[in-house]
Amino acid sequence: MSTPFEILGDACNSENQDAIKETLRQFLESSPTSSQYYAAHKKISELAEKSGLKNVKLTVVTSFTADLLTQPLFLHQYLNGINLTLQYVPYDQWFLALSSKGQIDEFSPDLVFLLLHLNDVAPVISYSHLMDWINVTEEKEKFLKSLFSAISAFQQRSDATVIVGNFCSQKPGFERYFDLNTDLSKSQMIEDYNRELSSFCSTNNNILTFDYSGIVADYGRASWFDNVRNFSNKSAISSKAIPSLARELSNFLNSIQRPRKKVLAVDFDNTIWGGVVGEDGPMGVRLSGEYPGNAYHAFQTFLKNLSASGILLVATSKNNLEDAKEVFDQNPSMPLKWEDFVVHKIDWADKYLNLKAAADKLNLGIESFVFIDDNPVEIAMMRQFSPDVKCILLNGSPANFQDKIVRTGHFDSPTLTSEDFGRTLSYQADKKRGEHEIRTETIEKFLSELGLEISVFRSSNQDISRIAQLFEKTNQFNFTTKRYSLSEVTEMTQIDGIDLISFALKDKYGEYGIIAVVVLKHNEGAATIDSFLMSCRVLGRNIEDAILAVIEEVARERDADRLLGLYSPTAKNQQVEGFYVSKGFEGIEGSDSDCMFQRTLSAKTIYQIPPHTHISYPGES
């Protein structure tokens, strides 16, 4: 029988991308040796050159030698469609390389991964804290100050996102039993290091903390570090543990590079409770008490918490609506409430059709959906008829359901914004708006009763992370689909010839937060609408008309005599195709794929704020 390594070799020779990815996945799960990683990397990096993957450059800055990271990290990133190029900074140069211009600047990375062991940078807390306690705090303050200043200095010169591993204690010493029972606690002090690190990182959108100590703990601290090699050649992490670091780092990078899924579609029977409600009745399903009821109860709590992090829950269950609803109404052990689901599709229709309808209702693409079910037939059918939905089969013990979902990484995200926290509430309010829409006779009347209030933000202290998120996620109402990164957005707020304008919306049902962004570039009398995008949740309220009026106003302030609108067609943004023409713009010469439209600004204001919206400029006089 062939080994996964040999099968991968055959797949590489075939040059069939799907076969390579599948065999590579199996290879990575087979605990390869260093030399196998090396050989696989050699083969696949040759293919990567030709395959048109996205190129990403990463600089690794460590206080020890970690060169063995190259091969497994490259291979994991390859699986995610990325051709990774790595640079290592020699271990004794981390401070210099960050704080002053040099090797990193020449490489010009997209990302920097900074991982320091306290052994290398803070000897007192690492080796002599008991005899030297008087210096422990001073060492911490001095070291963190220089670390933070080095990172800040680097950020002045580069847009790269900096990922900083937190600190962990290495092998426990003779203090292991008394440490937490004394005032001179090493582990408490290391927690202080990490608290200060996290709070430093959270002040800047472009610095992220990476839970290195958690990864070390998961693997097992005793076998993570190679004490002998650390002394003999500075290879502080054992060669067997390095692939685990590569895998976790790669997953973390994915959470930055790939948009998070937005919706979890949830089956009911034997998924969120044990048993079948149609047979067991609302009080007979297993939800509390002994196993497996307690496991289903815990799983529901997990789903509720997931929804609090901004993931929308959709109910999809083959049941009589009344039966399913009775569990929510009557069973007191349900952590999930009926309203926690933003859409309910409880009937006997095929689930892929129901998810399609839910996607339309939420104005979201089906590719942002994840579907969970205990029934392999439902999962297979979804994969067959709606292949863009990610499916997770929840079979086996309900105690493992949560892990099965977490392991997919679909809901990973390096940070959460305030919009994430309020998303479910905001969609629940949408639902009430929808009910209102049905009752109101004309659309004008409906809109005027909504009490739409738009806040316009232009200064440099806007919600940059939310704006970057909109650039990343908006597909439909998006004229140019330019994916500006966090650092590019930050930069735009500082350039004089560019207006970055963001729009927040609220109405009588609640707040939506930032829902639209415009980038207006000024050049010799022309105000070019470089980007114009709006969350699909607020379509149909003529917000775009109000935004156009604001654009005109800003352009006039800048003494522009004409507006230029750009449109780059994609598979998803047809709805904006005719917008500029319908607003009186004329088509002019553009490049082959992009269209350009022009509207001359005469003395008189062209675009009026629609009467059903109210505009304000918070923070401006």
Binding residues for another protein, rule: CB under 8 A, are: 33-36, 38-39, 42, 65, 67-68, 228-229, 231-233, 235, 239-240
The distance of closest approach from Cβ of residue 119 to another protein in the complex, given in angstroms and rounded to an integer, is 18
Q: Which is nearer to another protein, 71 or 426 (CB)?
A: 71
The distance of closest approach from Cβ of residue 51 to another protein in the complex, given in angstroms and rounded to an integer, is 21
List Cα–Cα distances, 178 to 174, 189, 193, 217, 305, in angstroms: 9, 14, 20, 20, 37
Neighbouring residues of 398: CB distance < 8 A, sequence distance ≥ 6: 274, 292, 295, 296, 299
Rounded Cα distance between 522 and 462, Å, is 20
With the C-alpha atoms ordered 58, 64, 65, 69, is the resulting torsion angle positive or negative? negative
Rounded Cα distance between 200 and 208, Å, is 10
The distance of closest approach from Cβ of residue 239 to another protein in the complex, given in angstroms and rounded to an integer, is 4
Q: Which is nearer to another protein, 40 or 312 (CB)?
A: 40
The distance of closest approach from Cβ of residue 37 to another protein in the complex, given in angstroms and rounded to an integer, is 9
Q: Which is nearer to another protein, 66 or 467 (CB)?
A: 66
Rounded Cα distance between 72 and 569, Å, is 38
Rounded Cα distance between 553 and 454, Å, is 15
Q: Tell me which residue of 266, 298, 295, 279 sits closest to 373, measured CA to CA.
A: 266
Q: Which is nearer to another protein, 35 or 616 (CB)?
A: 35
Q: Which is nearer to another protein, 33 or 574 (CB)?
A: 33
Tokens standing for residue 144 = 């963190």
Q: Which is nearer to another protein, 62 or 462 (CB)?
A: 62
The distance of closest approach from Cβ of residue 59 to another protein in the complex, given in angstroms and rounded to an integer, is 18
User: Which ranges of 277-316 would DSSP assign to H, the alpha helix?
Assistant: 277-280, 293-308
The distance of closest approach from Cβ of residue 19 to another protein in the complex, given in angstroms and rounded to an integer, is 21
Which residue's entry shows tokens 């440099």?
Answer: 460
Q: Which is nearer to another protein, 43 or 436 (CB)?
A: 43
Q: Which is nearer to another protein, 38 or 219 (CB)?
A: 38
Q: Which is nearer to another protein, 67 or 435 (CB)?
A: 67
The distance of closest approach from Cβ of residue 94 to another protein in the complex, given in angstroms and rounded to an integer, is 19
The distance of closest approach from Cβ of residue 253 to another protein in the complex, given in angstroms and rounded to an integer, is 24
With the C-alpha atoms ordered 475, 481, 486, 490, is the resulting torsion angle positive or negative? negative
Rounded Cα distance between 247 and 239, Å, is 14
Element (H, E) at 317: strand 312-317
Strands 510-523 and 498-507: antiparallel
Rounded Cα distance between 207 and 488, Å, is 14
Which residues make beta-bridge pairs with 499? 520
The distance of closest approach from Cβ of residue 232 to another protein in the complex, given in angstroms and rounded to an integer, is 4
